[in-house]
Structure 1
Amino acid sequence: MVSRRSYGSYNDGCAAAHALDLIGERWTMIVVRELLLGPKRFADLQRDVLGIGPAILTRRLQELTTYGIAVQRRLPGPGRVDVYELTDWGRQLEAVNSTLSAWAVQSPSMPFDADMSPDTLVLAMRTHARPAHHHPGPRTVSLALTDSRQESLSPVHYHAVMTADATTIDRVDEPGITDAAVAASTRDWKACIIGGTPLARLPAISVVGDRDAAELLITATSLRSEAGA
């Protein structure tokens, strides 16, 4: 297969053009997106990036590691599992992903009805995250999201902390002790966070513990709350 010529090979010294040489190929930023919240195995990436074939995924991962955007490493333990993770430089692409998302959400052809992977939805929450004003003490929520595109998969767990200074959400291996525990499909949680559907109208979303803490997480991370702020 003939490789695409880089913009640099046309004597284009623009840094944005060089960025596109690095991450502008089809699927590259989607793979990056799925690595922003932490390392994943090849099989995890193939599961989460629907539509990508193993040969293309292999090529994109090779390019990302060659460019220094990602690394491959072996986890300790008897399983000797290989994972891919972003470098410090690669993790800076979260800001790029957030900016692209904020720009694209204004598109008249934005597919708002399409589903999202758990990590993609949480990245959207991180993009919109803002301090929980008028709530000085930290409030915590564990969030378990089941991928609506593949409902047989186990839920992915996240830990959110809301304070008057900031709201943070991170992927975790296991849920911890929190003020509230929320479990939802990505379709229902997207309807709440991005679509603006009130939690009370989504009975399939489970909330155990302090419901006010769950509502606070929605207020601090939803697209609609940001638009109306």
Structure 2
Amino acid sequence: MAEGSYNQFCPVAMAAEILCTRWTIVLLRELVAGSTRFNELRRGVPRMSPALLSKRLKDLEAAGIVARSQLAGDPGLYEYTLTSAGKDLGQVVFAIGEWGQKWVTTESSLGKLDPNLLMWDMRRNINTKPLPRGRSTIQVIFSDLQEARRNWWLIVEPGADVDLCSVDPGFDVDLYLVTDLRTMTEIWMGYTTIAHTKSAGTLVITGNRQLEADLQTWLGLSPFAKFEKSVA
């Protein structure tokens, strides 16, 4: 699998040959987070080419980290799941994320903003329990982005996974969040709070009052937000 060998028997070197090729750890982050289909993985790594994604999945399968299985009823679709060895890497991926949250500067992180990744990460971490029993549609509007990347819709329905759309789904919107990409990223990563940004006028919320009141509860934060920065 490795694109170059360290020629060392040390377990660190041997593991690095498998895990430290470009995009591999980031792809593992998506698999650990629960993405199993090719298109789901693509949404989690939007800057990774489909050809490279396919190659890395094959590499991980060859290394015994990922298992590929055909989806029942559709011979053209496959599901990618972590093996026991892959699941064991969850603690490694989380430890890397914890280190990055603590020791990479805030400005360095906020210099690499990505609405696709931000919204995908928010979607999979939404806590649906506090939301109404019917369908809820939340529109996030990034006022600083061009039209093609400005509008996003989160659709929550009972008994279904939260859906994320970048094209208007045609449903009545229950809650609007209008902000800029940096502010929303700061909220998600725990660098600031909803209350502070509302007070500062960098986040404007309109719509269902109960959804707004419970916003922090159902929106949540990045899994890494609980780790305090050790650098400014």
Q: Structure 1: 5+ residue runs without aligned partners? A: 127-138, 160-171, 176-180
Q: Structure 2: 5+ residue runs without aligned partners? A: 164-173
Higher deviation after alignment, 198-207 or 93-102: 198-207
> In 2 relative to 1, CA 146–74 (structure 1 residues): closer, same or farther, beyond 3 Å?
farther
> In 2 relative to 1, CA 90–73 (structure 1 residues): closer, same or farther, beyond 3 Å?
same
TM-score, L = length of structure 1:
0.61
The corresponding residue for 1:169 is: none
Displacement of 1:65: 0.6
> In 2 relative to 1, CA 211–43 (structure 1 residues): closer, same or farther, beyond 3 Å?
closer
> In 2 relative to 1, CA 203–64 (structure 1 residues): closer, same or farther, beyond 3 Å?
same
Contact 2:98–2:224, Cα closer than 8 Å, also in 1: no
> In 2 relative to 1, CA 219–146 (structure 1 residues): closer, same or farther, beyond 3 Å?
closer
The CA RMSD measured in Å over matched residues stands at 4.4
Displacement of 1:99: 1.4
Does 2:104 correspond to 1:107? yes
Contact 1:193–1:222, Cα closer than 8 Å, also in 2: no
What is the number of residues matched between the two proteins? 194
Higher deviation after alignment, 106-115 or 59-68: 106-115
Within-5 A mapping of 1:109-188: 110-116=108-114, 117=117, 118-120=119-121, 140-141=129-130, 155=154, 173-174=161-162, 187=181
Counterpart-to-counterpart distance in 2, 1:140 and 1:25: 39
Displacement of 1:36: 1.9
- Larger RCO: 1 or 2 (CA < 8 Å, sep 6+): 2
Percent identical? 19
Does 2:14 correspond to 1:13? no
Question: Residue 196 of structure 1 aligns to a residue in which SS?
Answer: coil
> Which amino acid in the other structure matches residue 140 of structure 1?
K
Counterpart-to-counterpart distance in 2, 1:220 and 1:154: 18
